[in-house]
Structure 1
Amino acid sequence: MSAVELIRARLAALAPSALEIRDDSAQHAGHAGAKEGGHYAIRIVAPCFAGLSTLQRHRLVYDAVGDLPNARIHALSITAKTPEET
């Protein structure tokens, strides 16, 4: 399973109404950290983010992806919104 598929599967636990995952790894080829995993950008919209700060939202995303940052992800850019904020 690709890293994007794994990220998508794990973020399903947050019941997103919208989810976009972009693999930016090719833009970082040759970068020292690129050997440790890919570079990904996530845009996620989910009701569970209501009332949470940006930091709390990012923590929910990191909790959902679990151990992937240690194994398959080197860099992760997160945009997390509620349906009302989109």
Structure 2
Amino acid sequence: MEITSVTPSQIDLAVVGAGPHALTLVTHLLQKCQKKRGKFWVFDPSGGWLTQWQRQFVSFGNSTLAIAAVHHPDPNPFELR
């Protein structure tokens, strides 16, 4: 997703936070309604997707999250299989 500092004239949806739940919401929204692309903004102080999530993994000594393959942000639970 493009990161920009230009404010649009209208925002239809504001998503606060860029963690796994926000990523899931945005992915689902774009799959269901392509015309919403560019009409919502994601606000997060880190400036990027999953940045805080990744920092926390490093602080715990983990480089990846070992979970079942169906637990990921894509609306299709079997997308990664």
Q: TM (normalized to structure 2)?
A: 0.26
Kindly indicate which of the two structures has a greater share of residues assigned to helix. Answer: 1
Kindly indicate which of the two structures has a greater share of residues assigned to strand. Answer: 1
Computing the radius of gyration over CA atoms, which structure comes out larger, 1 or 2?
Answer: 2
